[in-house]
Structures are given as C-alpha cells and as structure tokens.
Structure 1
Amino acid sequence: MSQVLLKGGRVIDPAQKLDATLDVLVDNGVIAAIGAAATSQARQAEVVDCGGKLVLPGLIDTHGHVYQYVTGRFGLNADQCGVQSGVTTIVDQGGPSCITIPGFRHYVAEPSATRVLAFISAYLVGGLEGHYYPDLYRPDCLDADATIRSIKANADLVKGIKAHAEIGGFARWGLDVMKIAAQIGRGAQLPLYIHFGQLWPKPQSGGLPVQPDCIFNQVVETLKPGDILAHPFSRHPGGFVEENGQLHPLVHEAVSRGLKIDVGHGSHFSFKTARIVLDAGVVPDTLGADMHGYNTHVPAPAGTPDSHPDEEHSFLGRTQFSLVSAMTSMLALGLPLDHVVAMATCNAAKMVGMEHEIGTLEVGRRADISVLDDRRGRWVLEDNEGTQVITDRMLSPLFCLRDGVRHDAVSPTLPLARAA
C-alpha cells in the first residue's frame, strides 16, 4: 500500500486538541506523521490537495440501522451509510439480537468496508421490520441470561445494548421491559442505549394509563452511569421536553449522575425541541444519523410494508439526511465546530469503549480519516415538522480513508443541499 499525503487541510482532532492547517501522511494504512514531519517523511506519496477542506478523524455514526434484508425494509446497506457517506465506523442500534448476531457478523460486519459495530437488541427478535409488531417486544420476549452470554461471546462486535422507553410500550407493559434491559446492561457491564419518543401507537383497548412526562424519570431511576439517553431533540412526547414545552426537570440530574446523551437525528428531529433543550444548557455528547428504510429514499425489498404502523411518525418525505448533514444541523443550532467534531469522533469512540483505537488522528493509529467540504453561503434546512432554518455553513463528505483505503462519498442516500 503506497503513501498518501493529505496536504493543506484544516485538521481538527479534539482528542489531541488539534485545530490547524497541517499535512497528514498515511503509510501502509497507518497515520505516519502530522505537520512538518508529514512532508519530510513523504516518499513518492500520492498527494491529495485538501486546501479549504476539513480533515477529521474517521467519523463514527453512533446510530445506524444496517442489518440489511434481515430487518426487512428497515435495514440499509452499511457501506452506503458508512464509507460511501464519509463515515468510517457505524454502530447498528438494535438490529441484531442474541439469536441473530451470528448472521449480523457473517453477512454485515465482516464483508463491509465500513467498520460495523452493534448495540445488541435487548429483545429476542431484534429490530425485525423496524419493530413493526409491538407484541414481539413484550417482557416475555426478552431473555437476560441468553443476551448477556451472547454479548460476552461477541465482545469484539457488541459494544452496548438497545432498548425502548416510549409511550406505546409503557401503555402495554409499564416499566417491565426497561427493568430487564437494565439488568442486561449491568450483567454485561456495557452501556444501555434508550430510545425516547413514540415508536408504537397506543393499544386500541386494554392499555395502561400513561402520562408521557412521567416516562423519563421512571426510566432514569433504572439506569447506571454511562448509559445513554437518545433522541433529546425528538418532536414526540415522552422524552426530554415535557408537554408544557419545558425541559423535563430531571434531565440535569440525569447528566450529573453520569448518563450520556446521543442525538439520534432521524426523521423525528425537531429544531424547535432542540432549541428548548440547548437553551436550557443541555449539550449532547454524541451524534448519530438514525437513518433507516422508513425515513430514507431507498428501494424497499419486495413484500415489505410501505409504511410503519405508526403512520404519524414514519417517513414524511421532506428531508434526506446523513451523519454529515446532521453535523450541519448541529452547527446551525449554534454548537461550536470543535464540539460537533468531538461528538462524531472521540466522544463516540468513548461511547463504544474504543477510544484507544479510533476517534483520533494520533500517529501510529490505523488511518481512519474523513475529509469534508466546508462551504459558506445560504442554505435551507428543514425538519419533518416543516420548520425551516437558514444556515450559512454547509458540510458535505468528499471521501474517507478506512485503514488507509480511499472511499469516495457517492452514496445515493446523501442529501442535496437546498439553496436559500
């Protein structure tokens, strides 16, 4: 493998507190040098002009759905969401289970050019068809012991557990599922990632009474430090923002207890909710795109449903998005660039317990590098509530190196920028 010299880009590596115009030399798939040493050590290197571009540690998408075909319409192609979108590592959230993790390893993780990890589903059925059938997710469809055994046998691949705390589930089973999921997290000594916001419609009859504003505090009481609260910017009730439009009073306490916050962007992302949360002084730690087959324009496998049963919260067709476009949304909300980069690099690496392997451009590490265009102008960003925000900065992926191998950003799922 020949040398590659990424020349003259703005190198931002929060893990090393780097933000400067520097050269980066890759040699045999490893970061060999940064700065003046990169130029002096280059020997017949392929020179790539990165002037005016951002050169970042390989981006890590903390929330993907890439168990393609096995999860029906729900699962996307890992490389389209990954290296073809400028992302070197993607974490599947809840696609595989203790039953289906062998297939996930063999058919998704091993053949993909993208590094694919998993937060294993707490449910025996995993993410089949995007959790289409609620009754498959009832308490007796979890097996804590079997899931813990599977996690320990697949420690290289499984970095956490995925569960759901939302209105439809609470109306069916109350807190019972969350208690079992928390037991799995403690037994495996891995973070539990909790989906907040609606997923299933309430049962038409026989359901338990649910007060959406009470879900958050019930769930937080079951969690341990390092567990992850997802979807802080969701437009759905039952999460970070109460029905009165105010931040839930337990959010700050949850953070002080050591719980982490991940922006699983998705089609439920709301600029209005984000404004409430950020103005209350709550800043998320990590960022995932949360793309899947119900919120992304991709051909669906034959015979799969046209829409999710929770019609109000499935694909509404206004937006396409990606991890990098989600970074643009974070910038438009006023988060500083260095924090946005940290969310998708070193913070995400800590979330999966791999901060000593990925998430930085430290010399000697494997060469996972993302190169982004960083344009100035005026563009319209729109969420699925129809709220529009004008931004003067647009990030878009150009290419990435995964273990030193170049992959151009050619995914058909990448969104097109809309000029203001």
Structure 2
Amino acid sequence: MAEAPGYDLLLKGGRVICPASGIDGVRDVAVKAGKIAAVEEAILPSAAREVVNVADKLVLPGMIDTHGHVYQYVTGRFGLEPDMVGVRSGVTTVIDQGGPSCMTLPGFRKFIAEPAETNVLAFLSAYLVGGLEGHFYPNLYQPDCVDIEATVRSASANRDIVRGIKGHAEIGGFARWGIRVMEMAAEIARRSEVPLYVHFGQLWGLPEHGVNGEDADTILERVIPLLKEGDVLAHPFTRHPGGFVNREGELHHVIQAAIDRGLKVDVGHGSHFSYRLAKQALAAGVVPHTLGADMHGYNTQVPEIPVPLGTPEEHEDDENHPFKGQARFSLTQAMSSMMTLGLDLEYVVKMVTTHPAKMLQMEDSLGSLAVGRTADVSVLDDVRGRFVLRDNEDHRVIAERLLQPAFCLRKGKKIDSDSPILPQAIAA
C-alpha cells in the first residue's frame, strides 16, 4: 500500500521572503494541520496532498494591515466587511483602528472578529462612541465623551483582541476642545500598557466660529511629549493640515527626535496619502515603520453600503461625501506606492510583517513562516511593466513594479484574492 502524503499543502517554487527567519530565496513551503511544517529548498511534490505552483510569485508571512475599518454597519459607511479587507485581499491580519469602544467591543468581538476568517484585532477608540461617522457629529468626540477608567478596564480585560488605543490629534478637535482629549487617550494607553496610535491631519473640519486661535502646525510639538516609546504617529504623508510637512513645505522639527526616542510611524495610506508630501518627508529622512491601507467605505468602491438612518440630508448622497473622488487602493497597492517612492521590496515586506508584529507585541505568533507557526501566508504576484498610480490629490506616478495579491493561506486554508474592492492595474 502506498504511503499517505505527509503534508496537506505544498507551495512550490516561490520567492520566500521571511525577514523574521532571515530567508530570501526560492523555497518550498509545506503545511500540515494548519501549521507551517517545513520551509526547504526542495520538497518532493509527492509528499503533499495538494501542490500549488507559485513560481515567479512572492511568498510572505501573512501580511498585517495596521489600519483597517471593519466594524461593518456599526460605524456607518466607514465599516467594510472584514474579509473583503482581509483574506480576500491577500491579508491575513487586519487591525481595526478605532472602530470599537469600551461600550461596543462585545459586539465587535461577537459579530465581526469571531465570524471572520481574517484574524481581526482592534485598537480601541478612546471615545465612548467609537469610530462613528464623526465628521457628521463632532460633539461626540469631546472630553466629556471619554471615560478613562472604563476604557482601561476594557482594554486590559480583552488583551487577546485589543492591542492598542486610537486617538486623534487634529485641528478640528483642537479648535473645539484643545489638547485634553489627547491627554486622556495617552493616559488610557499608558495605563493599559499598549501603544497609542495617533491620527494626524485635519479630519472633522473646523467649528463655524473659526479655529479659536489654534494652529495646525503646532499640534505635533504639543502632542509628541505626551507619547511613550512604541506609540505610533499615523499619516506622515497626509495632504491635510497638521501633518509631518508644514504649510511651508518643511518637515516638522520634532519628528526626527520623536523617532529617535522610540516612537514609530505608520503610513495610514487611505484618504490622506499624498505622493507630493511623501517625497518631501522621505527626502528629509522619514522612513515609516509600518504600512496600513486605511480602506473604508468612503474611499473604496463597495457593493451596497447602506446610508445609515439619521444621516444628515446633505450627506445622504455619496457624491457629497467628504472623501469624494478617491483612488481605489489596497495594502498591496500601498506597498507598490512605497516601492515607487524608493523603498526596496525587502524593507516594504518588513512593514507588513515583522514590524507590525512587534508593534502588536505579537512577534511570537505573527509575522513569520517559522516551522510550527500558524500557516498564515500571503502569496503575491510581482508584475513588471508601467502602471499608473494616483493619490487623493490626483497626483500620478508611474510604477514599474506592481504587487497584486494572488491568494493567502489562513490557518492553512487557501483563500483566493477575489475582493471586489481590489484596484485594477492601469497601464501607463
């Protein structure tokens, strides 16, 4: 009688890049019982029940999207279906940035994280209401709507899913309430012993009576002293006031010192990203540590996201939404943007594997293809040619290399990259 194959699945002949294991070369990856069973230069096809030829593809540890919005329905049109952002886009772990709060986390766990095939984690909102459509209802985001004790308790009791806190340092909030909300968010993260992920760049707009003497270009220098090592500065390449590059086109003087004392930088691509400002910041020496796609229902073309009941009449038509005209993108498209801006593939892979695993304090379970780890694997096509990428300012760049998801393995299960929100390649 023939001996039964030893492996369930074999990925054969791809370029394996696993920074955590120091591997970069053609390897075969074998999976058994949902775990990585072997990574070797050659494994006999007969040793596996199923063999997938991945020659000319990239085989990476399961990619981690550090900035998602997947609290579907509860966060209005922001919330996307988690597997559309995750496994159906080639991404095995998605961090929801500020969707759930201490009040709404039980629903997030029960109805989002548990049913999803994607590994869904959260940075808990500092606000009691969480990530609702705050640009419609900014008064929900004032200091009276933050409960430090309740949020610390929630984060501490749900550490399996809550890996950080989300805060907003932007001119609309500062003009209304000053720095108090950020002080409270920093205290929550410090007491919870998790990172604080801080949004920079205008978000909710300004009060009708003006900016109350606030200057967007001073927000960074006031917020950064509140932060601890490991906290994350998001949206370094934002096109909105209050980001890393000031109105004079200069990198803010506090950024390098912040990085030197252990603060991290996350791209947070999304509706804020500008190639123009990214070039300026990179030229000044700012190299982000992690990469989040920041996809949500306003900046992707999504099938039938309903308008929430109670939405102000002037915003019921999506043509009037505040992020109108966005380019479609994904985590792999964001990786392609980083490469087009001059970062090498090997570093960009770290931005979506080992670096976010460390940010999450989960290096022992994420970001590696080491034998014995859960078989979370992202397989990408590395397409050569000339492709047009554009940002929110409709600035266009030419990419000679475009990464596109082919499929992923989540706990060893193969899932094709068929998400309807994935962008199509546009030839130059």
Give the TM-score normalised by structure 2.
Answer: 0.95
Range that drifts further, 297-306 or 284-293? 297-306
**Alignment correspondent of 1:4:** 9
Match status 1:280 vs 2:288: no
State how far apart, in whole Å, the 2-side matches of 1:359 and 1:86 are: 14
**Alignment correspondent of 1:366:** 374
**Alignment correspondent of 2:166:** 162
Residue 37 (structure 2) aligned to one of 22, 25, 32: 32
State how far apart, in whole Å, the 1-side matches of 2:232 and 2:207 are: 27
Does the 8 Å contact 1:64/1:90 carry over to 2? yes
3-state SS, counterpart of residue 106 of structure 1: helix
Instruction: Report the CA distance between 1:44 and its aligned residue.
Output: 3.6
Residue 22 (structure 1) aligned to one of 13, 27, 32: 27
> Residue type matched to 2:366 in 1?
I
3-state SS, counterpart of residue 187 of structure 2: helix
Does the 8 Å contact 1:118/1:158 carry over to 2? yes
State how far apart, in whole Å, the 2-side matches of 1:93 and 1:307 are: 23
Does the 8 Å contact 1:100/1:126 carry over to 2? yes
Change (3 A) 1:165 1:174: same
> Residue type matched to 2:376 in 1?
D
**For residues 369-384 of structure 1, what are the structure 2 equivalents within 5 Å?**
369-384=377-392
**For residues 98-137 of structure 1, what are the structure 2 equivalents within 5 Å?**
98-130=102-134, 132-137=136-141
Match status 1:176 vs 2:184: no
**Alignment correspondent of 1:84:** 88
State how far apart, in whole Å, the 2-side matches of 1:43 and 1:103 are: 43
3-state SS, counterpart of residue 226 of structure 2: coil
Change (3 A) 1:255 1:272: same
3-state SS, counterpart of residue 112 of structure 1: coil
**Alignment correspondent of 1:355:** 363
**Alignment correspondent of 2:327:** 319
Range that drifts further, 74-83 or 204-213? 204-213
**Alignment correspondent of 2:3:** none
State how far apart, in whole Å, the 1-side matches of 2:138 and 2:174 are: 11
Match status 1:262 vs 2:266: yes
State how far apart, in whole Å, the 1-side matches of 2:316 and 2:231 are: 28
Structure 1: any 5+ residue segments left out of the alignment? Answer: none
State how far apart, in whole Å, the 2-side matches of 1:201 and 1:308 are: 18
State how far apart, in whole Å, the 1-side matches of 2:9 and 2:96 are: 30
Does the 8 Å contact 1:71/1:130 carry over to 2? no
Range that drifts further, 88-97 or 287-296? 287-296
Does the 8 Å contact 1:174/1:208 carry over to 2? no
Change (3 A) 1:308 1:144: farther
Match status 1:233 vs 2:241: no
Instruction: Report the CA distance between 1:43 and its aligned residue.
Output: 2.4
**For residues 329-340 of structure 1, what are the structure 2 equivalents within 5 Å?**
329-340=337-348
3-state SS, counterpart of residue 332 of structure 2: helix
Does the 8 Å contact 1:316/1:384 carry over to 2? no
Residue 245 (structure 1) aligned to one of 246, 249, 254: 249
> Residue type matched to 1:7 in 2?
K
Instruction: Report the CA distance between 1:130 and its aligned residue.
Output: 4.9
3-state SS, counterpart of residue 136 of structure 2: coil
Task: Kindly provide the CA deviation profile for residues 324-350 of structure 1, in whole angstroms up to 9, marking residues without a partner as x.
Answer: 110010111010101100000110111
State how far apart, in whole Å, the 1-side matches of 2:307 and 2:36 are: 43
4+ residue stretches of structure 1 with deviation over 2 A? 40-45, 129-132, 302-309, 311-318
Instruction: Report the CA distance between 1:308 and its aligned residue.
Output: 9.5
Change (3 A) 1:318 1:161: closer
Instruction: Report the CA distance between 1:300 and its aligned residue.
Output: 2.0
State how far apart, in whole Å, the 2-side matches of 1:312 and 1:381 are: 24
Does the 8 Å contact 1:159/1:190 carry over to 2? yes
Task: Kindly provide the CA deviation profile for residues 24-53 of structure 1, in whole angstroms up to 9, marking residues without a partner as x.
Answer: 1111111011114x6159624311000100
Instruction: Report the CA distance between 1:317 and its aligned residue.
Output: 2.3
Task: Kindly provide the CA deviation profile for residues 158-188 of structure 1, in whole angstroms up to 9, marking residues without a partner as x.
Answer: 0000010001011001111010001101110
**Alignment correspondent of 2:152:** 148
Does the 8 Å contact 1:267/1:314 carry over to 2? no
State how far apart, in whole Å, the 1-side matches of 2:315 and 2:21 are: 44
Alpha-carbon RMSD: 1.9
Task: Kindly provide the CA deviation profile for residues 96-148 of structure 1, in whole angstroms up to 9, marking residues without a partner as x.
Answer: 00000000000000000000000000000000125531100001100000000
Range that drifts further, 57-66 or 312-321? 312-321
Change (3 A) 1:314 1:378: same
State how far apart, in whole Å, the 1-side matches of 2:8 and 2:225 are: 52
> Residue type matched to 1:367 in 2?
A
State how far apart, in whole Å, the 2-side matches of 1:207 and 1:360 are: 47
Range that drifts further, 154-163 or 296-305? 296-305
3-state SS, counterpart of residue 379 of structure 2: strand
Change (3 A) 1:168 1:130: closer
> Residue type matched to 2:209 in 1?
S
Task: Kindly provide the CA deviation profile for residues 273-323 of structure 1, in whole angstroms up to 9, marking residues without a partner as x.
Answer: 1001100111000000001111111122144558599x9993232410111
Does the 8 Å contact 1:294/1:308 carry over to 2? no
> Residue type matched to 1:195 in 2?
H
Change (3 A) 1:212 1:361: same
State how far apart, in whole Å, the 1-side matches of 2:21 and 2:135 are: 40
Range that drifts further, 152-161 or 294-303? 294-303
Match status 1:187 vs 2:176: no
State how far apart, in whole Å, the 1-side matches of 2:20 and 2:237 are: 26
Match status 1:205 vs 2:213: no
